[in-house]
């Protein structure tokens, strides 16, 4: 029996890998065809420089071609990690259907049942291989994708860039009722390294303005500084100045402007560089790990709607993995046939269950059910699919 299960597992694994490679190649090919000019321009700047418009000799042209290939790989290798999380559920179910079709076509299921082997034992390799790929999905989305999250925001023009481009900060609130603005935010790495180096590798804000709010959310004091750097627990303003504001005035009427002392120039806040990036980059939060999102939520100082959205992402991704596995279990009975039959008919019967399960997996990060805790609402599709999967799986005629 072990030999048979190894044979089925190997066949299923090959089908999974082939389908995944085909889908990856299809997606990458479309992007290359659409954005080839931008990849070529990025490679030209990297190899030749921004001043020349075309290669001047054969060796330069060859280096330009090789650099274009490298640029495509540089942009797409982190995207493939993200794409794996999106496609793994579809691939597992599709590969299971193809594998069962091969077994039925070659009459192997008939031979197995004639020898007294239960179809439940035939289903075991599918579940085990799917569990392995689900575990890889969990490891990928919790550890691999968060480490390359800044690279996922790039397009073809940003090939060879290793981090998020600088951007402006506009009225970002923190937990102490302050609003932060800066003309430019620069962060060399996603994970902040705390070093006594205010002018070097620290995340940096340029042309900083901090508005402190009073009653009625009116500005009572403004803090300004040419630059500010993150020291691991707060922002340190360089040569900061403050001005009180007349709360009765409809405009920012600065009063009693004075220079901040060294202690006043350090502003402790939960608005760290990671949170600034999450606020700026749409979809960036969905690429953070469970523990990173948990740490962000525990820090406080976030808008309630943003906190709820992050919480749904946190629990929804776990629910999505569970939903993929349960959908596979629910689809298996349609393909494990006692006698040879039409796989097209089996596919049509399995399609509603498979589509519902995959849709539930995709929507698990955004499901909102009034009256239910966020974590329970995220797992609601799983709870609804589980009885159906159990009923279908236990009804296999074997």
Q: What is the pLDDT of residues 244-276, one digit of tens each?
A: 766 555 444 445 567 777 777 888 888 888 777
Q: Does the pLDDT at position 165 exceed 60? A: no
Q: Is the pLDDT of residue 123 over 70?
A: yes
- Distance from C-alpha of 147 to C-alpha of 288, rounded to nearest angstrom: 8
Residue 129 Cα distances to 12, 63, 351, 385, 388, angstroms: 8, 42, 21, 20, 22
Average per-residue pLDDT in the chain? Answer: 82
**Structure confidence at residue 323 as a pLDDT band (50, 70, 90):** very high
Which is more confidently placed, 298 or 104?
104
Query: Using an 8 Å Cβ cutoff, are 42 and 105 in contact?
Result: no
Q: What is the mean pLDDT of residues 176-196?
A: 65
- Which has more confidence, 106 or 244? 106
| Residue 320: pLDDT over 80 | yes
Please tell me which residue, 192 or 350, carries the higher pLDDT value.
Answer: 350
Cα–Cα distances in angstroms (integers) from residue 71 to residues 44, 119, 156, in the given order:
10, 48, 8
Both tokens of residue 199?
A: 């002018």
Higher pLDDT, 204 or 324: 324
Residue appearing with tokens 């508005």: 211
pLDDT at 299: 60
200 Cβ contact list (under 8 Å, min separation 6): none
Mean pLDDT of 301-307: 70
**Residue 198 banded pLDDT, cuts 50, 70, 90:** very low
What pLDDT is attached to residue 1? 67
pLDDT for 281 equals 57
Q: Average pLDDT for residues 24-39, to the nearest whole number?
A: 94
Ramachandran angles phi, psi of 14, nearest 5°: -60, -45
**Contact predicate 83/139, CB 8 Å:** no
Overall average pLDDT of the 85-104 stretch: 93
Q: pLDDT (tens digit, 9 = 90+) per residue, 40-87?
A: 888 888 776 655 555 557 777 888 889 999 999 999 999 999 999 999
């Amino acid at each position: 029996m072990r030999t048979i299960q190894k044979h089925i597992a190997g066949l299923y694994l090959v089908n999974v890998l082939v389908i995944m490679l085909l889908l990856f190649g299809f997606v990458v090919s479309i992007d290359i065809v659409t954005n080839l000019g931008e990849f070529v321009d990025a490679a030209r700047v990297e190899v030749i420089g921004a001043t020349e418009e075309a290669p001047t000799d054969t060796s330069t042209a060859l280096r330009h071609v090789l650099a274009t290939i490298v640029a495509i790989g540089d942009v797409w290798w982190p995207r493939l990690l993200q794409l794996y999380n999106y496609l793994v559920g579809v691939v597992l179910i599709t590969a299971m259907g193809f594998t069962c079709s091969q077994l039925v076509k070659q009459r192997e299921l008939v031979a197995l049942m004639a020898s007294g082997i239960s179809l439940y034992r035939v289903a075991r390799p599918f579940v085990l291989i799917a569990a392995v790929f689900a575990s890889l999905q969990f490891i990928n989305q919790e550890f691999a994708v968060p480490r390359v999250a800044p690279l996922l925001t790039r397009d073809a023009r940003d090939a060879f860039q290793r981090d998020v481009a600088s951007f402006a900060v506009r009225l970002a609130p923190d937990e102490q009722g302050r609003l932060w603005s800066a003309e430019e935010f620069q962060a060399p790495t996603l994970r902040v390294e705390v070093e006594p180096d205010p002018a070097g590798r620290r995340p940096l804000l340029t042309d900083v303005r901090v508005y402190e709010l009073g009653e009625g959310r009116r500005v009572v004091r403004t803090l300004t500084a040419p630059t500010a750097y993150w020291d691991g627990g707060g922002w340190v303003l360089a040569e900061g100045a403050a001005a009180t504001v007349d709360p009765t005035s409809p405009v920012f009427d600065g009063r009693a402007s004075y220079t901040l002392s060294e202690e006043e120039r350090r502003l402790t806040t939960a608005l760290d560089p990671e949170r600034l990036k999450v606020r700026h980059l749409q979809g960036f939060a969905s690429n953070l790990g469970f523990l990173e999102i948990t740490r962000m939520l525990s820090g406080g100082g976030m808008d309630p709607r943003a906190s709820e959205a992050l919480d749904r992402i946190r629990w929804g991704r776990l629910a999505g993995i569970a939903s993929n596995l349960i959908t596979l279990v629910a689809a298996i009975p349609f393909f494990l046939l006692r006698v040879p039959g039409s796989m097209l008919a089996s596919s049509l019967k399995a399609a509603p269950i498979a589509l519902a399960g995959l849709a539930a997996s995709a929507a698990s990060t955004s499901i909102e059910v009034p009256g239910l805790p966020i974590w329970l609402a995220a797992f609601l599709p799983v709870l609804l699919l589980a009885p159906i999967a159990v009923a279908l799986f236990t009804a296999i005629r074997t």
